[in-house]
Amino acid sequence: MKQVIIIRGDLSISRGKIAAQACHASLGSYKRADVKKMKKWDQEGGKKVVVKVNNLDELFEYYELVKATELPYFLVRDAGHTELPESTITCLGIGPDEDEKIDKITQDLKLLK
């Protein structure tokens, strides 16, 4: 079981802002997950993997792919209170769910560094 957070790599934002956006994606997607999968994921340590895409268009490609599945997901739109204009799309949370199901969509993405 795992959760994957996909972050846009083209945004000029601080590490703290990236962390906050990833947290929004994680919690938003978690709240949409099946209760049994939530419990299993929690019991296994709540594995999260943070990866990146180059830009908004690429993020939307993954968004469309995950929408066609039964995986829980959450697209984050920033509120615009700090570093970004309101409604800027920053990241996408997927899962928690079985590794294999999420890997079918995200396996080619590189880790955020």
Backbone angles phi, psi at 60, to 5 degrees: -65, -30
Number of domains in the chain: 1
Residues 94-113 have a mean pLDDT of 97
> Strand 2-8 and strand 48-53: pairing?
parallel
pLDDT in tens, 79-92: 999 999 999 999 99
CATH number for 15: 3.40.1490.10
pTM: 0.96
pLDDT score at 68: 97
> Strand 89-97 and strand 48-53: pairing?
unpaired
- 90 is in which domain, residue-wise? 2-111
Q: Which residue has the tokens 């204009």?
A: 85
pLDDT in tens, 91-101: 999 999 999 99
Sign of the dihedral defined by the CA atoms of residues 83, 87, 92, 93, in that order: positive
Backbone angles phi, psi at 56, to 5 degrees: -65, -40
